[in-house]
Each structure stands twice: as structure tokens, then as C-alpha cells.
Amino acid sequence: MNIKSKIKEFKIKIKQLDYRHYIAAAITIAFAMMTIFIFPNAFVRIGEALRDLWYSLCYYIKELFYLDWNISVSVNAYSKVPWTPIFGLPATWEEFIVKWHEYWQVFADWSNVQSYFSYLGDLLYYISRVLLLVVVPLVLILYLLFNRYLSKENNDYDQDSKALILAKKIATKTYIPVKDWITGFVAFIQEHRIYTKIWLFIWAFNFNLITIVVEFVAYYLYFCVSFDFANMYRQLYKLLCDLSVPIAFIPTIGWIILGYLFINWLRRKIGYSRLEHFENQNCGFINERPIVMMLCGTMGKKKTTIITDIALSQEVMLREKAFELLFENDMKFPYFPWINLENDLKDAMDKHIIFNLATIKTFIQDKRQVWENTPTKDNIYNYDFERYGVVYDDKLKINYIWDIIETYSKLYFVYIIQSSLIISNYSIRTDNQFMSLGNFPLWDTDFFQRDSRTIDENSRYAHILDFDSLRLGKKIIEDNIKKDSFEFGVLNITEVGKERKNNLSLQEMKIKDALANQKNDGFNDTLKMIRHSATIDNFPFIKIITDEQRPESWGADARDLLEIVTIDETLPKKLAMPFFALTELLYGFVFGKFTNLYYKYRFKRSDNTLPMYLLKKLVAMFNHFYNGIYNTFGYCWVTTQVENGTMDGKILERKYYIMFKKIYSRRFSTDCFSDFFTQKALQSTIGIDDLEEYGTDKATFDELKKQNSYFINDLTRKQDEFDKKKID
């Protein structure tokens, strides 16, 4: 290719380049120019810092190896740049001591307090003047406009006023394109992260942040061999001198914005850490409970919410436990090439040779047989057994390599199953993220920082519970393909009493019945024995979580196996994120006023006017922000009473936290059986509006008869009998 064609190709590339690259490049050049013309001293300081670093490094090596080098350390020298440090910090420690005493004298001086309050007064006067000049007239205008609008009534459905039409036209030409362009440019910059990195580097350089880091390393190297405490103050002085550049350059409004961003970052961080803390407390609550538990409470007490929440946490805990045990077993034979075993297992899973714990057992036993017949490295996943051995003594027993391989394989199977570990009689959404680069996979099990827009992409749903898989005796479908499928996992059964019923409701049922019923299906035996199928490395990978309105609804034979958690009280919602009180107050005030005004307006008018359009837009923005915060950081807790299923033991008081982001993020449907009632209602030809009403405040005899009530029917029958006797 000749030079001409190369130039031509380059020109075409330039032409095809997104024009926003030029803007980003221009911004970069402008920032670089600012470095040269506004922050030239940053070059001097970085030069000094690098010099300090070099001498400190030499000094460090010299002291470390007792070398005979003649080095004069420069990190304690003052900078040549004549900057004044922030807070007017004096240059030497001696001066600082004098100033320190002086500071506290002035601090305690009443005239200083007065002068401070006079300064604050001036500031408040200035702020209130701005408010008076800008905000008050605006509010007055809006008030007058709304008064005018509310004095007129109309039925102009969805008609825009002339002012609103004009405003929309202007916005279409000005505000919307500008907003779209800025949004697009921000997305462009986020996509091309190189610009952000360059800009951050330039401004870190301009504000001496790079210098500060270099100086810190220089002083650290010097200090850790010299222990020179005397010159520590000088470093503080130099630090405050360097920081004086951003302090002086960034205007007050910039500091206010930066302060807000910092507080916002801080409060969100605190909020997330509090939610994590509550989640850990919930895990403690779940771990305290036995394998089977039943949650009880009256309607609307959040029973299903809590059992779903428990199932989500338990699923994560099962995977974490598998991970922990995998590591423990890995350490028993540290030189075993586990990756070869893992790849073999994955391959067998893909081919459906392995699909449960039992098939793993036979799979590994076959491999073991082959190795025992022909003990080569190839037959034991390339493990050098002659060099590293095949037994491990844990001081309790001797562990044989193939037993550990079998345990590891079962744990790995539990760990890498990508579908949900929850099996339930209603749907539950999980969104744990499986991360794999083809090596050992990791799970992202976070509940609180998920992007709600990506729910559909990353969700898995609970497996459908086939009750036949929990029946050791008769089954609804005797040759059910899924009847032996259940081994381990989190089993969630809502309204368990309606499924299993109690002894009273089952009086008519007989064990000898030909068809499966609650007495002959061996469900309770499954509950009693279920941990045996789910135990790996002495840990049961099983939890059965049920709910019902009252414990007695489930028969005593099953109930005696479990713990009953009764929901006592649900406390009001709270916010895990701090520093939100001012916004909360403002929201309460604004939203209360707006709701009144809005429904007065909706009552009187149906058209769209400019002030209402703007006001609603602003209030909606505020409302979305407020709801977003509460949906992310909101929580409440329920107080519970825990007792044995025999209901004769000690009652424990426990707390359980409900975090909104975790449980209300489309996790389950509170009306999980509503489809049944929808089908029932669809068969009806009349609705509430078609139902007859009582004629007066006292029901007539005919009206009472229309109730089809046992009670009224009894009364009517008695009346009829009485009338008959009277006639006779």
C-alpha cells in the first residue's frame, strides 16, 4: 500500500469519526492549557516530589543495607512555591504552638462569638434576600395563577392551554435537544472511558493530588527507617500548602456541589452497609431454626413475604456453605488438580450423566473402580498420588482420596447449579449472578445493588414443587417421572395447612384408601428422613419453610418436627440511609400541599395548563427520587415469637428484617393463587355494581332471605314450622 492510499484511508477514517471525539479532544486540550497557564506551579511541585522520592528511596536502601552513601534527604525541605496553607497554618512547629494557644484564646473570646454570629447573620440576610427576590415572587405568581384557574370550571378533556402549547413548542426546539445532546454526550464519554481517565489525571495533577501521593510515599520510605517524628509537622504543612490550590480554585458553588456529592456517596455507603448488617442478622435468625419451620400469623402479617425472604437468604447460604466446604476439602489434598475433576463433572452434567447427588456417587465410584484396577495418574485426574499420597489424617479419622473426591464432587454440583435451589408451590424470582471465566466460578449474591432495569435478563425462577416427590407412600400419579427427584434445596410451601390439613379435617380419610391422601402418602415420613438425602460432608443442604395462618391447621405429627415462628407485630417502615431528614421534611411539606391543590384542580378542570404542567413535572421528579431512595434503602422489622412445634416449650422473642429492595423487587406475587379466583370470577355474569342493595336502613324479610344464610334459613324454617302448628 503506498502513502497516498494510506493518507486517503486515514482521511476516510477521520470523516467517519464521531464528531463528539473532536469535542472531547477540545475539552482535553483546554484542560491541558489550563495546566500550563493556570497551574504552572504543579510542574514545580511534581518535580520536587519526584526528587524527594528519589532521595528517600536512596536513603531507605542505604539504611536498610548499612551502605556508606552520602545522601541528603530532601523530603523535609519546604517547597519553593510560595503557597499559603489552608487554615493559615504556620510554617514551623514552634510557631504552631504559639498560634495554638492564641487560637483557643480567640475561640473562647465572647467578641469572636459575636463577630461570628454577625457574620452568620449577614450570610442569612444575603440568602433570604435571594429568596425574597426570586422565590417569593415566583410562589406568589403561581399562587395567583392557580387561584385564577381554580375559580373557573371546565370539561375540556386533555386540552392543552395556549401557554402550554407554546411552552411545549419552545421546549421541543430548545430544552429537549439540549438535554438529549448532553445525555448522549455523557453516554459517549462513559463509553470512551479514556477521556474520563485523561481528565481525571489532568485535574489530579493540577490540584497536586499526584504530588501529594508521591510525597507521601517519599516520606513513608524516609520515616520507616528514620522514625523522624520531629519533621512530621512539616509534612502536614506541605500537605495543606498543596491542598490550598483546589481550595482557592474551586468556587463556593462548586464546593457545595462537591459536598453534596460526598455526603450522597457517604450516606449511600452507610445505607448499604446497614442493609448488609440486617441481612447478616436475618441469616443468624435462619441458622438458629431447625430444618423444618412454619411461619404463622393472621392475614396481611407478611407471612409469605417472610418465607420468601428466608428462602432467598437460605439459597445464598447453601451456596456459601458449599463454597466453604469445597475449600476445606480442597485443602485436604492441596496438590490435587481439582480443575480436572471440575471439568469432568461439568462435561458429565452437560451430557446428563450427572443430574443429582446419587448419580455423582455412582459416577465417582465407577472412576474409583477403574483407578483401583489400573492405578495410573490418568485415571485419577492427573493427580501425582505416588508423590503426594492418597490419605489425609485429620486427627479424627483417615480420609481416603476417593471419598474426598466424591464429597468434593457433590459440593461442586450444589455450588454450580445455575438454576435456583428453591423448589416451591408458588413462584419466587432469584437473581444471583453466576460468574465464570471457564475456571472456578464465583457467585454474586448481592440483594441490594441490582439494577432494576436488568431484572428480566438475569432472573431465574423457583422450580415447581411436585408434591409426589415428597411422598414416600402413595402418590397422586404412581408412575410420576418426578416422584424420586427431590434430594436437596430450599423447599417453600405456602398455606401448608390447606395442603396437608389437620387430624380433624382428615377424619374421613383412611390409610387403606386406594387413592393417595394425606394419611397414606408418607409425606410426614419424608419430612422426618429428608436430611439423609441432602447431607454432604455432614451438612444438610436442605431447609423446609412453610406458612399458615394458625399452627393447628397442620396435623400434630408433622408439626411436632418443626419450630413455629409466630409473627407478632410489623413495625413501621424506616430508612437505612442516614442524612435524609431535611429531604423528608421538604417532601412531606411539598407533597401534602401539592396533593390538595392537584385534586382541587382535577375536580374543577380537565384541561392542561402550563403552571400545573410544570408543577406536576417538578413534584413528580421529587416523588420519583424519594420513592427510589425508600425502595432502595427502606426496611422494617417484624417481631416474632419462636416456639417448638409441640407448643409446650419456652417462647423466644426474635426480630426479622424486611428490606424492600431485596423482597419487593418482583420476587413473588402476594396473590400467588389469584389465578384460581380470576377463573372463578370469569364464570360470573354480574359484578359488585349489579348486586342488589338494601332498600332502607332495616332489611326486609325478603332481603334477608336473599342472603342464602344458614342462620336466616334456620330462622325461616322455624317460623314456617311455627306457622304450620298455628294453622293445625
Partner 1 sequence: MKKNTLVNIFKVVVGLFVIVVIGYFIYTTTKV
Give the footprint of partner 1 on this chain (CB under 8 A).
87-88, 99, 102-103, 106-107, 112-113, 115-116, 119-120, 579, 581-582, 584-585, 588
Closer residue to partner 1, CB minimum distance, 109 or 191: 109
Nearest distance from residue 313's CB to partner 1, in Å?
29
Q: How long a stretch of residues is the chain?
A: 728
Question: At which residue does the C-alpha cell 422565590 appear?
Answer: 135
CA-based R_g, the chain, Å: 37
Minimum distance between the CB of residue 112 and partner 1, rounded to whole angstroms? Answer: 6
For partner 1, the closer of residues 73 and 243 by Cβ is: 243
Q: How many CB atoms lie within 10 A of CB 707?
A: 11
CB of 690 to partner 1, least distance (A): 41
Q: How far is the CB of 251 from partner 1 (least distance, A)?
A: 17
Judged by beta carbon, residue 22 or residue 579, the one nearer partner 1 is 579
Q: Which is nearer to partner 1, 126 or 579 (CB)?
A: 579
User: What 3 state SS string does 200-243 have?
Assistant: HHHHHHHCCHHHHHHHHHHHHHHHHHHCCCCCHHHHHHHHHHHH
Of 100, 56, 72, 81, nearest in space to 238 by CA: 81
Max CA separation in the chain (angstroms):
135
Q: Where are the beta strands (DSSP E) in 356-454?
A: 391-393, 398-400, 422-424, 429-430, 433-435, 442-444
In the bound state with partner 1, the residue whose beta carbon lies nearer, of 69 and 117, is: 117
Q: Which is nearer to partner 1, 116 or 260 (CB)?
A: 116
Query: Distance between CA atoms of 562 and 524, rounded to whole angstroms?
Result: 11
Which three cell numbers, joined as nine digits, stand for 378?
490418568
CA atoms of 622 and 630, how far apart (whole Å): 12
Return the DSSP state at 131: I
> At 576, phi and psi to the nearest 5?
-80, -20
- Nearer Cβ to partner 1, position 22 or 589? 589
Nearer to partner 1, 86 or 390 (CB): 86
In the complex with partner 1, the residue whose CB is nearer, 17 or 120, is 120
Please state the closest distance from residue 567 (CB atom) to partner 1, in A.
23
Backbone angles phi, psi at 132, to 5 degrees: -65, -40
Task: Name the residue among 278, 285, 277 with its Cα closest to residue 565.
Answer: 285
Angle, CA of 526, 532 and 537, to the nearest 5°:
155
Between residues 288 and 584, which has the closer beta carbon with respect to partner 1? Answer: 584
List Cα–Cα distances, 53 to 46, 83, 194, 196, in angstroms.
Answer: 10, 21, 28, 28
- Taking the complex as a whole, the smallest distance from the CB of residue 640 to partner 1 amounts, in Å, to 24
**Residue 544 near residue 527, CB atoms below 8 Å:** yes
Shortest gap between Cβ of 208 and partner 1 (angstroms)? 21
Nearest to 272 by CA among 636, 656, 633, 662: 633
In whole angstroms, how close is the CB of 243 to partner 1 at the nearest point?
Answer: 14
The C-alpha cell of 233 is what?
Answer: 509537622
Cross-strand pairs, 230? none
Smallest distance from partner 1 to CB 103, Å: 5
* Residue whose grid cell is 477403574: 370
In terms of CB distance, is 254 or 588 closer to partner 1?
Answer: 588
β-pair partners for 567? 640
Least distance (Å) between residue 91 CB and partner 1: 14
Which CB sits closer to partner 1, 118 or 452? 118
Give min distance, CB of 93 to partner 1, in A.
16
For the bound state, the minimum distance from the C-beta of residue 120 to partner 1, rounded and expressed in Å, comes to: 7
Residue placing its CB nearer to partner 1 in the complex, 87 or 677: 87
- From the CB of 102, what's the least distance to partner 1, in Å? 5
Cα→Cα distances 301→600, 638, 652, Å: 35, 9, 19
Least distance (Å) between residue 89 CB and partner 1 = 9
Distance separating alpha carbons of residues 716 and 713, to the nearest angstrom: 5
DSSP notation for 682-715? HT-S--GGGS---SSSS--HHHHHTT--HHHHHH
DSSP structural state of residue 134: I
In the complex with partner 1, the residue whose CB is nearer, 438 or 572, is 572
Residue whose C-alpha is closest to residue 345's, from 436, 389, 406, 421: 406
Kindly state the DSSP code that residue 337 receives in the 8-state scheme.
-
